[in-house]
Structure 1
Amino acid sequence: MGFLDNIFGNKEKKELETPAVKSITCEPKTIYSPLKGTVVPLSKVSDPVFAEEVMGPGVGINPEEGKLYAPVDGEIASVFPTGHAIGMTTGDGMEVLLHIGIDTVQLEGDGFHALVKQGDHVKAGELLVEFDCVKIKEKGYQTTTMVLVPNAAILGTMSQPHTGPVEPLDRLFDFQ
């Protein structure tokens, strides 16, 4: 049982097709951007739990639009009830945690619409969550979205992450 299963439990699996931004062939142990925006080093994120890599290494992305796409091919391991966080697992054993915003759990789902459920199988680029950037910011929260790999320690050495402007499915980092 992986880290994400421990947090969210494991439910029935099913297939689902959601709209995709584009299609790519994923390389093993590689994470692609789930958003259009600007990538920042995780150490620059204002929440210390993320900045100190407590939930795993990765990056933060300041989104330009409220669409979160699958950054890998895999199974939806968890969808937080408020829609602000998604966990995924890949066929090569990588766990991916996508967390929209800082402290956005406090919004109790207001401004978030998850399009997938636990157990769904998705391809990189499929739309997972729509979220209202304006509403989130108006309520006083940041929209910086974390892309994390909780089980990175068993995957090898993480490459230097891409920073700066990014489009959905641009390569972010990988493990060797």
Structure 2
Amino acid sequence: MFNFFKKKEQEPVKSKEVTLYAPADGELIKIEEVNDLVFAEKMMGDGFAVKPANGTITSPVDGEVTTVFPTQHAVGLLSSSLEVLLHMGIDTVSLDGKPFTTQVKEKQKLSHNDVVSKMDLAAVKAEEKETDIVVIFTNGDEVIKSFELTKTGMVSKGEEVGKVFLK
């Protein structure tokens, strides 16, 4: 049988919404509750945080790794057109990567259940740093129409916690 109709290669359709997932087991809080003015006042963008119960950190979105910081305290992700910064701990850049074991690399595709990093919570606390896992939308002003958290309180990593609706 002959196929006379060639299928055109189509551009992948960019989603108009991005589902958000808890990046750790623990207590989900609003970004305004993070004990750091840069995050709480949304200087880097809107988002949310989780006070982790353990050190396994997973991706908060389905997407691609765009950046792994040399100090391993943060990972940049892209989901549709939404840029997401996954920041592990508060003021942890000064720890020079010691309490982190990053398990992803740039250009790697991730689903929300994939482990991004292992964080030694005791080591972070021993340095008198907070362990909050902060999820920030760094280009939100450009691409977000609205953002809603549908869950607060105790969450499990990989659990759906909200949505971002894109312009």
TM-score between both structures, scaled by the size of structure 2: 0.84
**Counterpart in 1 of 2:11?**
none
**Counterpart in 1 of 2:21?**
32
The correspondence for 2:111, drawn from 115, 123, 127, is: 123
Give the whole-Å Cα distance in 2 for the aligned partners of 1:151 and 1:137. Answer: 31
- Is contact 1:29–1:155 with CA below 8 Å preserved after alignment? no
- The CA RMSD over aligned residues, in Å, is 1.6
Q: What's the CA shift for 1:161?
A: 5.1
Where does 1:68-147 land on structure 2 (aligned, <5 Å)?
Answer: 68-90=57-79, 92-147=80-135
Q: What's the CA shift for 1:49?
A: 0.4
**Counterpart in 2 of 1:57?**
46
Give the whole-Å Cα distance in 1 for the aligned partners of 2:159 and 2:16. Answer: 12
Secondary structure at the counterpart of residue 123 of structure 2: helix
Q: What's the CA shift for 1:118?
A: 1.1
Q: Which of structures 1 and 2 has the bigger CA Rg?
A: 2
- Is contact 1:77–1:118 with CA below 8 Å preserved after alignment? yes
Identity of aligned residues (%): 34
Give the whole-Å Cα distance in 2 for the aligned partners of 1:81 and 1:173. Answer: 29
Structure 2: 5+ residue runs without aligned partners? 1-14
What does the per-residue CA deviation read over 1:142-164, in whole Å, with 9 as the maximum and x for residues that have no partner? 00110111122212111145221
Give the whole-Å Cα distance in 1 for the aligned partners of 2:137 and 2:130. Answer: 21
- Is contact 2:23–2:133 with CA below 8 Å preserved after alignment? no
Give the whole-Å Cα distance in 1 for the aligned partners of 2:105 and 2:28. Answer: 27
If each structure's strand is expressed as a fraction of its own residues, which one has the higher value?
Answer: 2
- Is contact 2:18–2:61 with CA below 8 Å preserved after alignment? no
